[in-house]
Amino acid sequence: MTEVKRVVIKVGSSTLTDPAGGLDRAYVQSLIEQIAALREKGIDVVLVSSGAIAAGRRAALFSDRFLRGEELGKGRKLSTILDEMKMVAEGVNTARSVVQLRDKYNVPMPIASAMESVT
1-15 confidence digits (pLDDT tens) = 679 999 999 888 778
pTM reported for the whole predicted model: 0.49
Task: Give the start-to-end residue ranges of the domains of the chain.
Answer: 6-112
Mean pLDDT of the chain: 77
Buried b (16+ CB within 10 A) or exposed e, 66-105: eeeeebeeeeeeeeebeeeeeeeeeeebbbeebbebbeee
Residue 35: CB atoms within 10 Å: 17
29-58 confidence digits (pLDDT tens) = 898 889 989 999 999 999 887 655 555 555
Give me the amino acid identity at 57. Answer: R
